[in-house]
Structure 1
Amino acid sequence: MPIRLNPTPTFADRLKQADRTLYGMWSCAGSPLVAEICAGSGLDIVLIDGEHSPVNLESILAQLQAVAPYPAVPVVRAPFGDTVILKQLLDLGAQNILVPMVDSVAQAEAMVRAVRYPPHGVRGVGSALARSSRWSRIPDYLARASDLVSLTVQIETTDGLEAAADIAAVDGVDALLVGPADLAASMDLLGQQNHPDVVAAVERVIEAGLAAGTPVGVNAFDPATAERYAAAGAAYVLVGADVTLLARASEALADRFVGASPDAPAAASY
């Protein structure tokens, strides 16, 4: 007799239940082992990156399997907002989807349709073949699927900034994530994520989310900036990444035991 399984709470569920700001980190190395180490850190979120990392569907699947036993909630960032890619990520068992570079209500609505089955969306039906339903071992998966998936969209441009309040109000968008690096670039402030104008723009999105009742998160690898955004009302903050932690820690070892290099580049915040 097959086992009947209960799905884990979604990212949206975790945000609703939280009584504090949640904190997470990026898994960018593409390694299930590293993702598992991150998941056991005590942070709340492991965000598996499919946009800026050397990953494919198989490595995302392996990372999801590695993270599954731990309390940290896994979120998967798609490389871009493509219906077919989102279908594949959902079918391999990604419950929590992040779509980058969403600039308009129309884009946000299209992403909502992409993660929902007809008649409310366009997600292709193949759950009996897929890990998403645990091969039909989650009872009534098709009927419950909309409640078992969360959608976060990323605000990363001046167009997205201007539309943030309306995007936050789109039914089916469970959360926003502000990307200060791309937002700074869009504001002609490339590499200046902590510029006062960028910080003000991030806080403007947080305010829009609070007004709409939609949680807003932000990337902030600088601790003081992370604390500022949390105090401003950010529901979650991503405070590091596996690859940057390894880079900085290995550099610190080299500085101590080999000697500091006068030509060492300054660390850039994501």
Structure 2
Amino acid sequence: MIENVFKRKLLARERQIGLWLAMADAYAASIAGQAGFDWLVIDAEHGPNDLRSILAQLQSIESTPSMPVVRPPQGEGWMIKQLLDIGAQTLLIPMVENAEQARQLVAACRYPPRGRRGMGAGIARASRFNTIPDYVDAADDQICLLVQIESRQGLDNLEAIAAIEGVDGLFIGPADLAADMGHTGNMHHSAVQAAVESAIGRIQACGKPAGILTFDVDLNRRYLELGATFVAVGADVPIFTAALGDLLAPYSASATRPPSRGY
């Protein structure tokens, strides 16, 4: 059985620094993996990914030190089934707002009788095409389910969501949370930051790991100090855009570098 190193470190509360991948490109994913990030999010919620581009990135990242995390557009059972079958072991599900939703996500990630994942491992990459004899028996323990808390409703139900067995970590989405709180584009607002810091403490009080993504070094250091353990610190698209702008700037008076609104 292939060990999910990300999950092992997550449950041990080891600090893991991540990066968002939205280019939907296996070559770019390989470059990011070789850079040494602990985890890389293959983003299909806002990045133009489909099942085959996700598969290509999983294959590309496999040869690097990084561990892949896949974010589907939403937590639909059929999406989860396909992602697990192509070999994703860690899923990050957006917009989780209540305990029943979390319970259904856990069930979608587990084989019967513990859940309702479809029995297709015999032809799946996850079982290395049926060359892992005990895959179905051992798979559940290596699947890692992360849920995103990014609305006021999600915050209201945080403890109930965290109490669901099989939810391995809770990830705060500050950009959507700020928008839901009436501060679109301003995750630095004092009310948003108070909610984020409170959520990190509440998640830990529930005995679960806390995670977050921002492009702000000072904020990320603050969240790590507060006990967040899986923290994403950037994304490939804005990094690439900024680097190209910096390269061109000395040669073009009209070159502009678009500001990052952050996450």
TM-score, with structure 1 as normaliser: 0.94
The code of the aligned residue for 2:261 comes to A
Alignment pair present for 1:7 and 2:12: no
Partner of 1:120: 114
The whole-number CA distance in structure 2 between the counterparts of 1:169 and 1:86 is 21
* C-alpha RMSD of the superposition: 1.4
Contact 1:12 1:175 in 2 (8 A): no
TM-score (ref. length: structure 2): 0.96
Cα distance, 1:264 vs structure 2:
5.6
Residue in 2 that maps onto 1:142: 136
- Where does residue 266 of structure 1 map in the other structure? 259
CA distance in 1, matches of 2:175, 2:252: 32
**Aligned mate of 2:194, from 192, 195, 200:** 200
1:177-223 superposed Cα distances (whole Å, 9 cap, x missing partner): 11100000110110011111111111122111111111010011110
Aligned residue runs from structure 1 range 115-194, under 5 A: 115-194=109-188
For 1:13, the aligned partner's letter is R
The residue matched to 2:164 in structure 1 has which SS?
Answer: coil
Shift of 1:18: 5.0
How far did residue 118 of structure 1 move? Answer: 1.2
The answer to which of 198-207 and 88-97 deviates more is 198-207
Indicate the SS of the match to 2:157: helix
Q: Does the CA-based 8 Å contact 1:10-1:150 persist in structure 2?
A: no
Change (3 A) 1:242 1:168: same
Structure 2 residue matching 1:40: 3-state secondary structure: helix
**What amino acid sits opposite 1:7 in the alignment?**
I
Distance 2:65 2:164 in 1: 29
Across the two proteins, how many residue pairs are aligned to each other? Answer: 263
- Matched residue type, 2:259: A
The residue number in structure 2 matching 1:3 is none
Q: Which amino acid aligns with 2:222?
A: R
Contact in 1 for aligned 2:97/2:157 (Cα 8 Å): yes
* Contact 1:10–1:149 under 8 Å retained in 2: no
Q: Secondary structure at the match of 2:60?
A: helix
1-side partners of 2:144 and 2:260: how far apart? 33
Cα distance change, pair 246–56 in 1 and its aligned pair in 2 (3 A): same
How far, CA to CA, are the matches of 2:56 and 2:92 in structure 1?
18
User: What is the alpha-carbon distance in structure 2 between the residues aligned to residue 53 and residue 267 of structure 1?
Assistant: 16
Q: Secondary structure at the match of 2:78?
A: helix
SS at match of 2:148: strand
On the 8 A contact 1:25/1:47 being kept in 2, the answer is yes
Q: Which amino acid aligns with 1:14?
A: K
In structure 2, distance between residues paired with 1:17 and 1:39:
22
Confirm whether residue 23 of structure 1 aligns to residue 17 of structure 2: yes
Shift of the 224–143 alpha-carbon distance from structure 1 to 2, 3 Å rule, reads same
Q: How far did residue 34 of structure 1 move?
A: 0.3
Report the 3-state secondary structure (helix = DSSP H, G, I; strand = E; otherwise coil) of the residue aligned with 1:52. coil
Instruction: Map Cα deviations across residues 132-163 of structure 1 (whole Å, 9 max, x no partner).
Output: 11112123111111102110000011100111
Give me the whole-angstrom Cα distance separating, in 2, the residues matched to 1:264 and 1:138: 49
* Distance in 1 between residues matched to 2:116 and 2:254, nearest whole Å: 55
Residue type at the aligned position of 1:91: D
Structure 2: which amino acid aligns with 1:60? I
